Amino acid sequence: MLSRTADHLYWMSRYLERAESLARMIDAHQRLSLVPRPPEAVAQGWQATLVSLGAAAAFFGRHEALTARSAFDFLAFDRQHGGSIVQCLRAARENGRAVRGTITSDLWETLNATYLESVSFTPAMPESARGEFLEWVKYRAHLTRGVTSATLPRDEALHFTRIGTFIERADNTTRLLESRWRDPGGHGERLRAEASEWAVLLRAMSAFEIFRRLYRDSVTPQRVTEMLLMRDDLPQSVHHCLDELQTNLAAVANSRSDETHRRAGELHARFHFGRFEDFCAEGLPQFFDHFQARLRELGARIADDFLVPAS
Amino acid sequence: MRVSPYDEMLQSGGTPRPHCRDYWGWLEEQSQECLARKRSEADALFHRVGITFAVYGENSGTERLIPFDIIPRVIPAEEWSRLEAGLVQRVRALNAFIGDIYHGQEILRAGVIPAERVLCNAQYRPEMQGVEVPGGIYAHIAGIDVVRDASGSFCVLEDNLRVPSGVSYMLENRKMMMRLFPELFARHPIAPVEQYPDLLLENLKSVAPQGVSDPTVVLLTPGMYNSAYFEHAFLAQQMGIELVEGQDLYVLDDVLYMRTTRGPRRVDVVYRRLDDDFLDPLSFRPDSTLGVPGLLTVYRAGHVTIANAIGTGVADDKSIYPYVPQMIRFYLGQAPLLENVRTWILSDPQDKAYVLAHLPELVVKEVHGAGGYGMLIGPAATATQLDDFRARIRAHPERYIAQPTLALSTSPTFSAAGVAPRHIDLRPFVLSGREVAIVPGGLTRVALREGSLIVNSSQGGGTKDTWVLGC
C-alpha cells in the first residue's frame, strides 16, 4: 500500500474517533447540567475539559466568557477551530476522499453523507436540538465503524484504520479521565469532582451498566478510573486500545518498525502487568502526562516507519 | 445563416426517428412529476456518491455536480459503426503523425504541413526527438469531440490527445440510468460500456516497457483539488491500481519507484492525468511540485511508459487540427471517413481577411484555449465583444482560429419547461495499444440553456447517457 494512502486512512479514523469523543465529552457536560450545581462548578468543569484538550488558549482567543453555551459552540460547531466536531468530521471526509479509490464506496459514501449533513449544524441550533446533534455524531461514528468492519478486507487498509482508531481512543480516554482529576487552575489533583460527575462520565462513555455489572458497588473516582484504564475487555479502556494497537502494528510490521513495535509493547506491558495502585502512587495527573507523551512519541514513530517515510 | 439543427430523436414534423420510436412512446407516457422526481433522485445520488468537480476560479474547494439529464442520447448501431471506423482511422493517423514528428519528420519534408507550424509550436517537445515508445503509440487514450452538422453527418470538432477526461461520467451516467429506469434496459438492446476500465487496463499493460512480464501500472493525479479528481480516483479504483501523486514517486538509478508501507516498489506504466508541463520539474516547469524529478530521464531510458506520451499536444493543437485529413491520406493512403469542420487559420492573411469580414457569423477560438474559455460566438456576441475580438485578432492573428457557427444537433432534454431540444456534442474515447478499441458510445454533453452552443461543464453544460442501440 502507498504510504500516503496509509497516512490518509490513519488520519481518517483518528478524526472520526476524535469527533465521537468530543461528542461524548460534551454529552457528559450536558447531562451534568441537569443536576443543580453552582455556576462556578459548571465553568470549572468546562475549563477542565478545554485544558485537557489543549484548547483553552484557542477558546479564550475567540470567546470572552466561558459559559456552557459558548463552550458547546466552540467544541461542536466552530469552523475556525480545527478541533471542533464539525471540523473533525470534515477532516475525516477529506482524508477519505483522498483515498476514495482504496476504501469501499460504502465507506466513502458514509463519510461523505456525514460531512454533507454536518454542514447544516451551526450555533443557531436551538438548545432543544443539541442533544440530538450529539446523538447524531455518535450514531454516525458507530455507523462508519460498522461499515468499515463489514466492508473493508482484512488487509493493511483495515490495520492502519484500526491503528488510527485505537491510538486516538487511548488518548481521548485518558483526557476524559484527566479532566476530572486535574485542578484546571493549578497542577494538583482536582478534589471537587463530585460523585455524580463520575456517574455521568460513565453514561457518556456508554459504560455505566458495564460498571454496575463488573463492580456491583458504588461509583467512586478510583473505580471508574481503574476500569477505564485497566480492563482489557472494554472497548473504551486504554488497556484494550493498547492490545489492539499491538496486534495491528504486528500485522503491518516492516523492516524498520521493530523499535516502534517494542515501545508499543513496553507501554502495553504497564497496563497488562502493572497495578493501578502504583499508578495512583505516582500521582494520576503525572501519570496521564507521562502516558500521553509516550503515545505522541509512538504516533511520530508510526509516521516515520510507515506513513511518511524518508526514501 | 440560421439553419434548423438536426434533432437526434425527432424528424421534422415531430414524429420520432425509427430507432427512437419505442423510447419516445415510453417518454410520452411519463408524467412531468415522475420525470422531475427521477431527476432529483439522480441529483441526490450523485451528491452522496460525491461525483462532483471543482470549478477553477471559484472559492477553493467548491464542489459542484455536473447536471445530469435523464433523457438519453440515442445512436443507431449502423451509424455508430460508421462513426467508429472513422474514429479508428483518425486516431491511427494521429499516432503515426506524432511518431513521425519525433523521428524522421517525413510529413514536413513532403511539405504537407508547414514545418514552422509544428516545430515552433509550444506543444512540440524537442526532448522527445528520437525517443522510442512501446508499439509506437503516443496517444493511448484519445477523446475525439464529434458533432453533427445540420445535414446530420458527423464531423470532428476537436481531438483531445493530452489528458482527455469525462469517461467516468460516461460510466456513472449509465449506472444512474440503469438504476432510475431499469425497465428501459430490459426493453432496449443497449450496448454496454462498463468494460471500459478493463479495456483501459489491458491497454496500459500492453504498452509496458519491453521485458516486463507483470507490469505495475499507476494512475498519476495532481491531487484531490484537481477538477477531475473524482475521475482519477474512480478509474484507479475500477482498474485496481494505485492512485499516486508526485510525492509518492521517486527516481533512483533511472528507475521509477513508489513509496509503500512495505518499502519501495517499482513502477512500469504511468497513466498520467497531469499535463506535460508539470511532469518533471527538472525538465519542464521547475516550480512544479506535482511531478517527479527525473521522470523524463527514466522515460527516455525506456524504463517506464507514460500514457499518454509526452508531446502529444503537438497533434491536437487547434492550429494542427486543419491538417488531420491530410495526415490520414499521407500515412494511411485512405480518404478520411470523418470530416473536419471548416477552419480558418488566422495567421494566414487570406483567411484572416475573410474572418474579419465575416466575424458576426463565425466562432473564434484561441489556438491554445480549452474548456470553452476565451472563445467568441459571433451570432451571440455584442458589438463591443466583436470589436474586442477584431482588435485581438489584428494584434495576434497566430493565436486564433475561426470556424463557422455550427448548428449542433439537438436532443430532447428535460428542462424546467418540460421536454425541449438542447444542443449536444459527443466525446467517444479511443484506446490505442496493441489494437484500437472504442466502447460503443461516449460522453454526450448538452448545453442546458436554451439556444446555447457551449456544452462545457465549466460553462453550464450537463451530460446525458449515450445509447448505441441494437449492437
- For A86-130, the DSSP string reads HHHHHHHHHHHHHTTTTS-HHHHHHHHHHHHHHTT--TTS-HHHH
What average pLDDT does the segment B37-65 reach? 76
Cell of B87: 474514429
Question: Nearest chain A Cα to B221, which residue?
Answer: A98
State whether B264 and A105 contact (CB < 8 Å).
Answer: no
Express as a percent the part of chain B with pLDDT over 90. 77
Give yes or no for B451 touching A (CB within 8 A).
no
Express as a percent the part of chain A with pLDDT over 90. 79
Report whether pLDDT(B295) > 90. yes
Question: Nearest chain B Cα to A112, which residue?
Answer: B48
Q: Which residue has the cell 524522421?
A: B104
Total Cβ atoms within 10 A of residue A214: 14
> For B423-443, how does the pLDDT look when each residue is reduced to its tens digit (9 = 90+)?
999 999 999 998 999 999 999
Show residues of chain A in contact with B168, CB under 8 Å: none
Question: Nearest chain B Cα to A104, which residue?
Answer: B237
Q: Which residue has the cell 450555533?
A: A123
d(CA A2, CA B261) in angstroms, rounded, equals 6
- pLDDT at position B371 is 61
Report whether pLDDT(A191) > 70. no
Helix, coil or strand: residue B147:
strand
Report whether pLDDT(A195) > 80. no
Give yes or no for B47 touching A (CB within 8 A).
yes
State whether A101 and B233 contact (CB < 8 Å).
Answer: yes
For residue B146, CA distances in Å to A20, A126, A198, B96, B302 come to 51, 55, 70, 21, 34
Q: What is the mean pLDDT of chain B?
A: 92
State whether B247 and A4 contact (CB < 8 Å).
Answer: yes
Show residues of chain A in contact with B52, CB under 8 Å: none
Show residues of chain A in contact with B233, CB under 8 Å: 97, 100-101
State whether A101 and B50 contact (CB < 8 Å).
Answer: no
Specify whether the CB–CB gap between A273 and A267 falls below 8 A. no
> For A105-119, how does the pLDDT look when each residue is reduced to its tens digit (9 = 90+)?
999 999 999 999 999
Q: What is the distance in angstroms between the Cα of B226 and the nearest Cα belonging to chain A? A: 11
Show residues of chain B in contact with A100, CB under 8 Å: 50, 233, 237
Give yes or no for B179 touching A (CB within 8 A).
no
The H or E element containing residue A170 is helix A156-181
Burial of A105 (0-12, 13-18, 19+ CB in 10 A): middle
Question: Nearest chain B Cα to A108, which residue?
Answer: B49
Question: Nearest chain B Cα to A114, which residue?
Answer: B48
B443-447 vs B418-427, strand pairing mode: antiparallel
Kindly list the domain boundaries of chain B, sorted by start residue: 18-341+406-469, 342-405
State whether A311 and B248 contact (CB < 8 Å).
Answer: no
User: Which amino acid does the sequence have at B204?
Assistant: L
What average pLDDT does the segment A250-276 reach? 95
d(CA A228, CA B196) in angstroms, rounded, equals 53
- pLDDT at position B422 is 95
Specify whether the CB–CB gap between B274 and B222 falls below 8 A. yes
> For A163-178, how does the pLDDT look when each residue is reduced to its tens digit (9 = 90+)?
999 999 999 999 999 9
Q: Which phi and psi angles does B145 have, rounded to 5°?
A: -85, 120
Question: Nearest chain A Cα to B222, which residue?
Answer: A98
**With bands split at pLDDT 50, 70 and 90, how would you rate the model's confidence at B142?**
very high
**With bands split at pLDDT 50, 70 and 90, how would you rate the model's confidence at B416?**
confident
Q: What is the dihedral of CA A153, A157, A160, A164, to 10 degrees?
A: -80
State whether B49 and A105 contact (CB < 8 Å).
Answer: yes
**With bands split at pLDDT 50, 70 and 90, how would you rate the model's confidence at A179?**
confident
Bridge partner list, B469:
B76, B190
Give yes or no for A120 touching B (CB within 8 A).
no
Cell of B166: 469525462
What average pLDDT does the segment B188-207 reach? 96
Helix, coil or strand: residue B411:
strand
- pLDDT at position A206 is 94
Tell me the H-state helices in B346-382. Answer: 349-358
State whether B48 and A113 contact (CB < 8 Å).
Answer: yes
Q: What is the dihedral of CA A211, A215, A217, A222, to 10 degrees?
A: -80
For an interface test with A, the pick among B237, B261, B262 (most A C-beta atoms closer than 10 Å) comes out as B261
d(CA A114, CA A108) in angstroms, rounded, equals 10
Express as a percent the part of chain B with pLDDT over 70. 96
ipTM over 0.85: no
Supply the CATH classification number for the domain B342-405.
Answer: 3.30.1490.270
What lies within 8 Å, CB to CB, of B244 at 6+ separation is A2, A4, B218, B219, B220, B221, B258, B267
DSSP A202-224: HHHTT-HHHHHHHH-S---HHHH
User: Which residues of A194-304 form beta strands (DSSP E)?
Assistant: none
- pLDDT at position B122 is 87
- pLDDT at position A31 is 87
Total Cβ atoms within 10 A of residue A288: 21
Show residues of chain B in contact with A307, CB under 8 Å: 261
Nearest neighbour of B261 by CB, restricted to A1, A97, A116: A1
Q: Which of B442, B388, B449 is nearest to B87 (CA)?
A: B442
> For B235-284, how does the pLDDT look when each residue is reduced to its tens digit (9 = 90+)?
999 999 999 999 999 999 999 999 999 989 999 999 999 999 999 998 88
Q: Which of B197, B203, B196, B290 is nearest to B237 (CA)?
A: B197
Cell of A270: 504497564
Give yes or no for A94 touching B (CB within 8 A).
yes
Report whether pLDDT(B55) > 70. no
Nearest neighbour of A109 by CB, restricted to B49, B236, B245: B49
Q: Which of A270, A274, A264 is nearest to A297 (CA)?
A: A264
**With bands split at pLDDT 50, 70 and 90, how would you rate the model's confidence at B58?**
very low
- pLDDT at position A299 is 96
Report whether pLDDT(B62) > 70. no
A residues 127..156 contacting B (CB < 8 A): 156
State whether A105 and B234 contact (CB < 8 Å).
Answer: no
What average pLDDT does the segment A194-209 reach? 88
Give yes or no for A247 touching B (CB within 8 A).
no
What average pLDDT does the segment B106-123 reach? 93
Chains A and B: how many Cβ contacts under 8 Å? 63
> For A125-147, how does the pLDDT look when each residue is reduced to its tens digit (9 = 90+)?
888 889 999 999 999 999 999 99
State whether B259 and A156 contact (CB < 8 Å).
Answer: no
Q: What is the distance in angstroms between the Cα of A80 and the nearest Cα belonging to chain B? A: 16
Show residues of chain A in contact with B237, CB under 8 Å: 100-102
Report whether pLDDT(A187) > 60. no
Total Cβ atoms within 10 A of residue A63: 15
What average pLDDT does the segment A222-250 reach? 96
- pLDDT at position B1 is 42
Binning chain A into helix, strand and coil, the percentages to the nearest 5 are 75, 0, 25
Q: Which residue has the cell 504498452?
A: B207
Chain-centroid distance of CA B317 in Å reads 13
For an interface test with B, the pick among A3, A94, A115, A308 (most B C-beta atoms closer than 10 Å) comes out as A3
Give yes or no for B332 touching A (CB within 8 A).
no
Q: Which phi and psi angles does A172 have, rounded to 5°?
A: -65, -40
What average pLDDT does the segment A269-282 reach? 94
B/e letters for A183-202, b = 16+ CB within 10 Å, e = fewer, are: bbeeeeebeebeeebbbbbb
Nearest neighbour of A309 by CB, restricted to B224, B242, B259: B259
> For B153-195, how does the pLDDT look when each residue is reduced to its tens digit (9 = 90+)?
999 999 999 999 999 999 999 999 999 999 999 999 999 999 9
**With bands split at pLDDT 50, 70 and 90, how would you rate the model's confidence at B60?**
very low
Question: Nearest chain B Cα to A95, which residue?
Answer: B224
More confident residue, A188 or A66: A66
State whether B242 and A2 contact (CB < 8 Å).
Answer: yes
State whether B259 and A3 contact (CB < 8 Å).
Answer: yes
- pLDDT at position B434 is 87
Distance from the first to the final alpha carbon of chain A: 15
Neighbouring C-alpha atoms within 13 Å toward the C-beta of A192? 12
Chain-centroid distance of CA B422 in Å reads 20
- pLDDT at position A183 is 65
> For B346-358, how does the pLDDT look when each residue is reduced to its tens digit (9 = 90+)?
988 999 999 999 9
State whether A94 and B50 contact (CB < 8 Å).
Answer: no
Report whether pLDDT(A101) > 90. no
State whether A97 and B50 contact (CB < 8 Å).
Answer: yes
Q: What is the distance in angstroms between the Cα of A304 and the nearest Cα belonging to chain B? A: 10
